[in-house]
Copies of this chain bind each other. A is one copy, B any other.
Amino acid sequence: MTPNQELNRVEVCFTPCDFHQYEEGFDLIVVIDVLRATSAICTAIEYGVKGIIPLATLEEAREYKEKGYIVAAERNGAIVQGFDIGNSPYAYMKPELKGKTIALTTTNGTKAIRISEQKKTVVIGSLNNLKSLCNWLVKQKRDVLVLASGWKDKFNLEDTICGGAITDTLLKSGQFTSEEDSSVAAKFIYRSAKENMFAYLKASSHRRRLRALDLNADVSYCLTPNILSAIPILKNGIIVPLEVVVEEMM
């Protein structure tokens, strides 16, 4: 880095309802919903799903089902009655989904994606694709706003840890700076959680919710960093592999 090079900002916004207070000046958004929507989306794209249409409501999901789409729907941690898939990452590894376009609605994650969609670039983050995503973000030389999906517009720990992981990694590149207290807090929380995230999250509200649903395997998967390299990106309302967009720009 040359001494006069201007640093880019990386900031963390804790919930979709805070987005309007943080979004000014950012046109590159990373949406995260670690448990489990964005971990599932990254998995789907890595395993060959062609595209994912994020839907905010169950009404839209039912319309897509009538149109003949494969539709995934989750509310409060469980698959919604009448749909085949929820947001367990494992469900998206199935060979029969390869090359398919899936419509998806979840309690928090897909809403956060829809809130960001007027922005120039919206990518999907998780702990699973942390390294690959951060490598790409560093190359963009743009300000980055990480939007945590939270839980029904409330702050949640797991998304904050992931937001902190992205912030910490970008700051360490020497090309970024953070100004918001939310970003500083997320970084501190990540640093104290990173050695044992599973234990750290024991007290979190969503962990308790998922434990009641017997989803410990999902939680364990979602908290494992750097097992995926896919970078899903929103293009004309559909989440596709980054390569598709890059190829079209060539």
B-binding residues in A (CB < 8 A): 14, 17-18, 21-22, 151, 153-157, 160, 178-182, 184-185, 188-189, 192-193, 200, 203-206
Contact = CB atoms under 8 A, between A and B. Distances in A.
A147 B237 CA distance: 38
A41 B31 CA distance: 40
Copies in the complex: 2
Given A188-B192, A189-B188, A181 B153 contact: no
Nearest to A182: B155
Contacts of A203: 178, 184
Contacts of A193: 188
Nearest to A200: B188
B185 A205 contact: no
Contacts of A205: 179-181
Contacts of A151: 181
Nearest to A155: B182
Contacts of A153: 21
Contacts of A18: 17, 154-155
Contacts of A14: 14, 155
Given A14-B155, A180-B205, 5 more contacts: A18-B155, A155-B180, A179-B205, A181-B206, A188-B189
Contact of A204 (B155, B156, B157, B181): B181
Contact of A155 (B156, B179, B185): B185
A1 B203 CA distance: 22
A182 B204 contact: no
13 contacts: A14-B14, A21-B153, A21-B154, A151-B181, A154-B180, A155-B185, A156-B181, A157-B181, A157-B185, A160-B185, A178-B203, A181-B206, A184-B204
A203 B171 CA distance: 13
A191 to B, nearest CB: 8
5 tightest Cβ-Cβ pairs between the two chains A and B: A157-B181, A155-B182, A156-B181, A184-B203, A181-B205
